[in-house]
A = this chain, B = another copy of it.
Amino acid sequence: MLQPPPAQPGMREDEVDTPALLIDLDAFEYNLDRMAAVLAPTGAKLRAHAKTHKSPVIAKMQIARGAVGQCVQKVGEAEVLAWGGIQNILISNEVVGSSKLRRLAALARIADVAVCADSLAHVEAIEAAAADAGVRLPVLVEIDVGAGRCGIAAGPEAVALAQRIAGSKHLRFGGIQAYHGPAQHMRTVEERRSLIAGAVDASRRTVEQLRQQGLDCPIVGGGGTGTFAIEAASGVYNEIQGGSYVFMDADYGRNKDENGAPVSTFRNALFVLSTVMSVPGGGVAMIDCGHKGVAVDSGMPHVWKRPGIRYTGASDEHGKLEVASESESPKLGEKLRLVPGHCDPTVDRHDWYVGVRGGRVECLWPVAARGAMQ
């Protein structure tokens, strides 16, 4: 059951029911514009990752600012985007199982949908599903650029797999997927540069070997919010897959720039609004948002603009705040904004975005692909 929205347009922010997923629309639009501006001189295009926002509404705003399309991780996410009018979608992931592959092939009739593979078995299964549906699917080879997750070895192994794709009747070689996840969250510029240098080398080498075999790489894709400027400047990557940049989170806020200051390219645009539900005293206040409402896999949320208050413990439906002795305790019923530790899974807990500007609710958007995990 879709939950009823926690707000109505026109309400004041302090009237929004809680916990609620807020978008600060000014900061959000700043982030959309800023990514477009940073990428413009590089020649690399944005293919924003919808695993973060799960919303055709936001996808359209990214595309209006120059994004070539969207990435997703799941067939269910691709369906929601395609049904919402998004045309160009890459599943930046392996898709396994006949049920999912049938859905993927069916979707190819209404949108341009590409998918990744890192083994011959994947390629054969995708070919069978595409043949069965009478469609032709672009398939990218995912290479392991150091993340140690999915991906075939860069170089000859990747080239051999690309040749199998290119030689399959119902497939088309779509390029390479070369994303380095852990690099996104390395705290120093040096660590991020070092890891992405390896990813760029592996990608460049593979692209060159593919060309030697007569295979062009329409997409060389990767890069996230933590490292995208490096990939974009590499001359190798032509598509950037940043997702979190639209919202940011406490974890990305711990990345440092060359001067050791927090990276300030993007602004915090995503919050979970919560209500103080009990003030037992002793420097403690309880709020109505635990880890069912805000993800804690990348650390606890921050309390926005209340430096004396720390969110120190999350149970399912309760958050524990500790108040510094010199700070004023929040009051029963007071509403506080939390900056999520990790934006992607936080969004996936909620059914509605509440867009706010100047202290008032301006819009409600469904988190349309929430829970689309198959």
Contact = CB atoms under 8 A, between A and B. Distances in A.
A289 B278 CA distance: 36
A346 to B, nearest CB: 11
Interface residues of A, number: 70
A119 B278 contact: yes
B317 A373 contact: yes
Nearest to A315: B181
Contact of A96 (B122, B276, B344): B276
Interface in A303-325: 314-318, 320
Most buried by B among A3, A100, A284: A3
Given A119-B278, A297-B296, A73 B317 contact: yes
A53 B350 CA distance: 18
Interface in A136-150: 144, 148-150
B276 A17 contact: no
A96 B19 contact: no
Contacts of A371: 3, 349-351, 370
A94 B333 CA distance: 11
A366 interface: yes
B118 A3 contact: no
How many copies of this chain does the complex contain?
A: 2
B278 A297 contact: no
Q: Interface majority SS on A: helix, strand, loop or mixed?
A: loop
Interface string A76-100: 1000100000000000011111011
Contacts of A332: 96, 119, 121-122
Interface of A: 1-3, 6, 15, 17-20, 51, 73-74, 76, 80, 93-97, 99-100, 118-119, 121-122, 144, 148-152, 181, 275-280, 284, 286, 288-289, 291-293, 295-297, 314-318, 320, 332-333, 344-345, 348-351, 366, 368-374
10 contacts: A17-B99, A17-B374, A73-B316, A118-B278, A118-B280, A119-B279, A144-B280, A149-B315, A349-B349, A349-B373
> Which 10 pairs across A and B sit closest by C-beta, in order of nearness?
A150-B278, A73-B317, A17-B374, A96-B277, A94-B277, A17-B99, A3-B371, A291-B297, A293-B373, A96-B275
